[in-house]
C-alpha cells in the first residue's frame, strides 16, 4: 500500500498545473532550496561523521554495548540503536550520522536498521527547537517544556521499537 | 552546545582507544568517517532535493493552506491559545501543516511568527505548547529516513511510514500528557526574570 504513496503525491503535485500553478518553476525553486539545505548539511555532516567514525573505531562501542546489553536484552532492544536514540534530541545531524552508519553496517532490512531509521524520523532535535522558540522570552514553562519534549522523544523511541518489532518487521 | 558534544566525542575516542589499545584505528576511522559523509550525501541528496521541489509545488498550489484549515480543531485542542485572532491561527496552521509535509523551512518562520504573537499577548502556556508541538516532529512522509534505507538497498523504503507515524503519535501523546501534568505546578510560580 505504501508503494503508491510517493507516486500519488507526485501526481497530485503535478496536477496543480490544472489550477494554473507553474509546476516546473515551483519544482526548480524548491530544488534550489533543497540544494542549499544539502550544502549546509554537508558542512555539518563531514566533521560530525568524521569524529563519529573515529569514535566507532576506538573501542568505545564495544565497551558501551557490554555495559548496556543486559538492559537492552530486558527491553528487547538492540544496543546498536542506542546512539541514535541518545543523540536524537541533541543533534539531528549526529543522529543522522549514527543511523546511517548503522544502516550501512547492518543492511537496510536488519531490524536494528529499521528501528534506527524510525527513531530518526519520529523524533526531533528537541534542544535546538526549544532553544529557538523560547530564546529571549520570559516563561516559567521552560523546564516543563524541556522535560515534556524529552519525554516525547523517549516515547517516540519506545514507540518506534515497539511498532517495528511487533508490526512492521518487514516491508508491508 | 554542539561544540561541547564534539569535544566529548573526541575525548571519549582518545580515552577509549588508549584503554583498549586501538590507537592505530583512530585516524583511519576518522578519514573513513569523513569519506562516508559525502557518500551519504551523494546517496540521499537526490531524493532530498526532489522532495524540496515537490513541497514547493504543494505550497504554491495553496494546499498547505487547505491542510491548515483542516487541522485547526486539532490545534485548538493541543495549543489552547487564549486569543482567537486570525493572524495567529494562520501562522499556527501553516507551521503545523508544513511540519506534516516535512518542509522545515516553511514551518519554522511560521512557527516563530506564532511564537512572537503568543508571547506578545502574554499567552505563556500557548507559547509553551507551540514549542512542544514543534519539538515532537509529526511527519507524514519520512523522506530522509526513507532515502537512507533506499541507498542501502531497501526495495520498499517507505514501508517505514506507518511505524514512524505511530511513533510520532506516541511522542505527541506523551509530551502533551507530561506537560499537562507539569504545567499546573508551574502556574503557581511567578514568571522568571
Q: Between the ranges A121-135, B22-36, B108-122, where is the mean pLDDT highest? A: B22-36
User: What's the grid cell of residue B103?
Assistant: 518542509
Confidence of residue A165 (pLDDT cuts 50, 70, 90): confident
Helix (H, G, I), strand (E, B) or coil at A171: coil
A109-B52-B41 Cα angle (round to 5): 50
Residue B36 pLDDT exceeds 70: yes
Give me the pLDDT at residue B43, please: 76
Q: What is the mean pLDDT of chain B?
A: 84
- Taking every pair of Cα atoms in chain B, the longest distance, rounded to a whole number of angstroms, is 64
Is B24 an 8 Å CB contact of chain A?
A: no
Is B111 an 8 Å CB contact of chain A?
A: yes
Residue contacts between A and B (CB atoms, under 8 Å):
354
Interface of B with A in 131-160 (CB under 8 A): 131-132, 134-137, 139, 141-142, 144-146, 148-150, 152-160
Task: Scan for cell 516546473, then name that residue.
Answer: A24
Give me the pLDDT at residue B1, please: 57
Interface of B with A in 47-66 (CB under 8 A): 48-63
Confidence of residue B192 (pLDDT cuts 50, 70, 90): very low
DSSP symbols for A79-136 = GGGHHHHHHTTT-HHHHHHHHHHHHHHH-TTSHHHHHHHHHHHH---HHHHHHHHHTT
Q: What is the mean pLDDT of chain A?
A: 83
Give me the pLDDT at residue A127, please: 79
d(CA A136, CA A147): 19
* Residue A171 CB burial class (10 angstroms; 0-12, 13-18, ≥19): middle
Contact B52 A142 (CB under 8 A): no
Q: Nearest Cβ partner of B105 from A12, A33, A144?
A: A33
Flag the least confident range among B12-16, B23-27, B108-112.
Answer: B108-112
Contact A144 B164 (CB under 8 A): no
Is B42 an 8 Å CB contact of chain A?
A: no
Give me the pLDDT at residue B52, please: 80
Confidence of residue A172 (pLDDT cuts 50, 70, 90): very low
d(CA A17, CA A20): 5
Interface test with B, best of A36, A55, A83 (most B CBs within 10 A): A55
B93: how many CB neighbours lie within 10 A of its CB?
A: 22
ipTM exceeds 0.85: no
Contact A108 B157 (CB under 8 A): yes
Distance from CA of B100 to the nearest CA of A (A): 11
Give me the pLDDT at residue A170, please: 60
Confidence of residue B178 (pLDDT cuts 50, 70, 90): very high
Counting residues of chain A whose pLDDT is more than 70, the rounded percentage is 95
Confidence of residue B90 (pLDDT cuts 50, 70, 90): confident
Contact A156 B28 (CB under 8 A): no
**pTM for this prediction:** 0.75
Give me the pLDDT at residue A1, please: 62
Residue B88 pLDDT exceeds 70: yes
Give me the pLDDT at residue A48, please: 80
d(CA A98, CA A117): 10
User: What pLDDT digit, counting tens, does each position of A4-57 carry?
Assistant: 777 888 898 899 899 888 999 999 998 998 888 788 777 877 888 888 889 888
Amino acid at each position: 500500500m505504501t508503494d503508491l504513496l510517493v507516486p500519488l503525491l507526485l501526481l497530485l503535485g503535478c496536477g496543480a498545473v490544472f489550477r494554473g500553478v507553474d509546476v516546473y518553476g515551483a519544482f526548480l525553486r524548491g530544488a534550489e532550496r533543497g540544494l542549499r539545505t544539502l550544502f549546509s548539511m554537508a558542512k555539518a555532516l563531514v566533521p560530525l561523521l568524521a569524529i563519529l567514525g573515529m569514535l566507532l573505531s576506538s573501542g568505545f562501542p564495544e565497551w558501551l554495548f557490554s555495559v548496556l546489553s543486559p538492559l537492552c536484552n530486558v527491553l528487547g532492544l538492540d544496543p546498536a540503536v542506542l546512539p541514535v536514540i541518545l543523540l536524537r534530541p541533541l543533534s539531528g545531524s549526529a543522529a543522522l550520522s549514527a543511523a546511517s552508519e548503522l544502516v550501512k553496517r547492518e543492511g537496510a532490512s536488519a531490524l536494528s536498521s529499521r528501528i534506527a531509521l524510525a527513531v530518526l524520523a519520529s523524533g526531533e532535535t528537541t534542544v535546538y527547537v526549544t532553544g529557538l522558540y523560547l530564546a529571549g522570552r520570559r516563561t516559567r514553562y521552560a523546564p516543563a517544556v524541556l522535560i515534556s519534549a524529552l519525554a516525547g522523544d523517549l516515547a517516540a523511541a519506545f514507540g518506534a521499537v515497539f511498532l517495528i518489532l511487533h508490526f512492521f518487521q518487514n516491508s508491508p | 552546545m554542539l561544540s561541547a558534544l564534539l569535544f566529548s566525542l573526541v575525548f571519549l575516542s582518545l580515552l577509549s582507544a588508549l584503554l583498549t589499545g586501538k590507537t592505530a584505528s583512530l585516524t583511519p576511522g576518522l578519514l573513513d568517517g569523513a569519506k562516508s559523509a559525502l557518500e551519504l550525501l551523494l546517496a540521499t541528496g537526490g531524493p532530498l532535493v526532489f522532495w524540496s521541489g515537490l513541497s514547493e509545488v504543494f505550497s504554491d498550489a495553496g494546499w498547505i493552506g487547505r491542510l491548515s484549515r483542516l487541522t485547526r480543531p486539532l490545534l485548538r485542542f493541543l495549543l489552547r491559545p487564549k486569543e482567537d485572532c486570525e493572524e495567529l491561527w494562520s501562522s499556527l496552521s501553516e507551521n503545523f501543516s508544513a511540519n506534516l509535509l516535512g518542509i522545515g523551512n516553511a514551518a519554522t518562520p511560521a512557527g516563530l511568527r506564532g511564537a512572537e504573537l503568543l508571547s506578545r499577548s502574554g499567552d505563556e502556556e500557548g507559547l509553551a505548547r507551540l514549542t512542544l508541538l514543534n519539538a515532537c516532529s509529526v511527519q507524514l512522509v519520512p523522506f530522509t529516513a526513507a532515502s537512507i534505507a533506499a541507498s542501502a538497498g531497501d526495495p520498499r523504503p517507505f514501508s517505514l511510514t506507518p511505524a514512524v507515524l505511530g511513533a510520532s503519535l506516541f511522542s505527541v501523546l506523551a509530551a502533551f500528557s507530561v506537560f499537562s501534568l507539569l504545567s499546573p505546578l508551574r502556574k503557581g510560580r511567578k514568571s522568571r526574570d
